[in-house]
Amino acid sequence: MTSRLRVRFVPLGGLTEVTKNMYLYELYEDTRLKDILIIDCGIGFPKEKELGVDLVIPDISYLEDKKDKIRAILLTHGHEDHIGALPFLYNDLGRPPVFASKLTSVFLENKFRERNDQVFIERVNFEKTYDFGGFKVNFIRVTHSIPDTTHIVIRSPVGNFYHGSDFKLDLTPPYGPSPDFYQITKAGYEGVLCLLSDCLGSEREGLTLSESVVGRTFEEEMRKTKGKFIMTTFSSNISRIRQCVEAAIKFNRKIIFLGRSMKESTRLASEIGYLPIPRSLIASEEDLTRLPPNRVCLVVAGSQAQYGSAMTKLADRQNPYTKVGPGDKVIFSSDPIPGNEDEVYELIEELVSQGANVYYSDIADQLHSSGHGNQEDLKFLIRFTKPQYFIPIGGTIRHQHQYRNLVDELGFDRDRVFCLIEGETVVFYRGAASLGETIPTRTIYLDAYGVDEVASVVLRDRKTLSTEGIVIVVIVADKQGSLITRPKVFSRGFVFEKEQDFFYQESIKIIESVMRKKSGRLFEINNVKREIISLLEEFFFNQKRKTPLIVVEIITL
């Protein structure tokens, strides 16, 4: 009997929340899993309600018993949402081979060093075909908002897959080659079973602006600026940063980078020749105290209004060396990530209130060119590759469904577009595809920049603390549970000072009643704690309609 081969596509992120990109391609022979390829391994960003969370990373528990099947991790480009989770997950993935382009490799190697770890990354050869078990892979040069971005063609026994992660078709990129249209169309000529395409720009008409347009805008705006020129963007957006730097060089402004991530990424890019800057024009933050404003160009991290970022500190007047004021110009050269809009606009409001001229994409064209293809870019890729099936990636649900409309406009069968959510799979056979089983996934939170996994119960407690307050009970008793001193009750953020005596005294009565009832030879501390918490929760809710976090500590002597 002939064995039956199939490929299953498994998204562990990167579908409905734009970020946290991670995708699996699995090759099966009958029911036996033979090979796994991983494309990207990125971080996500927490929502405002996820208190104290720094990062969100993909859930790889599905891969726990399949490490021996992972043949390689292939990275498309150097943005955080495509590479940022790998230092946290690499050991748990079994440390498989990693392949990436030059700038991507430099960024990722540095992330491993920051965690006192190391990784060997093979820099991709665009002329080479790589063999990974039953898969054959080629990398294709494309353009995005960061240099050295790639698409990946994956050839399998059931058909070819074109993994078209974040891209735009920039015919005049300021640095580096334009998209390799020959290799893209060659993939289409050979036949593409499924196109997995960036869809974030599917709502915008036309072609995306060339990155070079933004460089000309920087020059025009810098020429008219009497005070400090301040540009904020993603710290990994080296092309954008380089264009701002070149404008500063032209107008003889000192260049100062603000923010740890901005300083680090620009240092790495400079070391490999991607960001040439004359030493005479590089200055430090301390130099801001003596430089005239019209000689300053600040390139600042924190365009998404991240808490504690260099940009928010500047807006909050927390930078010890400089302040924003009249005559200064602030350029937001990035659009808010979906979900960050409110925070970004609050940041803009604060800067405007301090007298700065603030420019952002809502009010001024050509300050930012998206790294994601608009409708015409997406249509070109569809026409070039002529796939049988489609999976839109890298966007939200609405972007996926708009992408399906574009497919329909081009005369392809809209029923062959799989709009997925995280964990939903698609199984491919020769010339056919269908939905597969759903892989259960959960949200993995990291705080303290990845020191510990944050459980959902911790998030619940943080939310309670922020809205309801905390009550702490300290009980000193002997080993049989008889009170040695009167219980102590403290609170923060729960009741006003004038109400404290009433609540404290009533709480103590409840605690003493429980202790009298529970004392004896079978005194069990955890049971007593649970009963005290339950009774106090009921009392506080009846009195205040609030349920604070209650912590009970019983000390036995």
Task: List all residues 6 or more positions away from 141 whose beta carbon is below 8 Å from its beta carbon.
Answer: 126, 149, 150, 177, 179, 180, 183
- Please give the Cα distance from 43 to 28 (Å, whole number): 28
- Please give the Cα distance from 477 to 479 (Å, whole number): 7
Instruction: Select which of 163, 368, 372, 399 is catalytic.
Output: 372
Q: Is 198 a known active-site residue?
A: yes
Q: Which two tokens stand for residue 249?
A: 């060089």
Q: Which two tokens stand for residue 545?
A: 């309609």
3-state helix, strand, coil split of the chain in percent (to 5) is 35, 25, 40
Q: Which two tokens stand for residue 377?
A: 């870019």
Q: Is 372 a known active-site residue?
A: yes
Instruction: Select which of 54, 148, 198, 335 is catalytic.
Output: 198
Q: Is 384 helix (H, G, I), strand (E, B) or coil?
A: helix
Integer-rounded Cα Rg, in Å, for the chain is 28
Q: Which two tokens stand for residue 386?
A: 């002529």
Task: List all residues 6 or more positions away from 110 whose beta carbon is below 8 Å from its beta carbon.
Answer: 264, 268
Contact 364, 329 (CB under 8 A): no
Give 104's strand partners.
none
Q: Which residue has the tokens 């099966």?
A: 28
Listing DSSP states for 480-505 in one string gives: T--BSS--EEEEESSS-HHHHHHHHH
| Residue 480, CA distances (Å) to 72, 497, 557 in order | 60, 35, 10
Within a 13 Å sphere around the CA of 424, how many CA atoms are in the beta-carbon half?
A: 12
Catalytic positions are: 198, 372
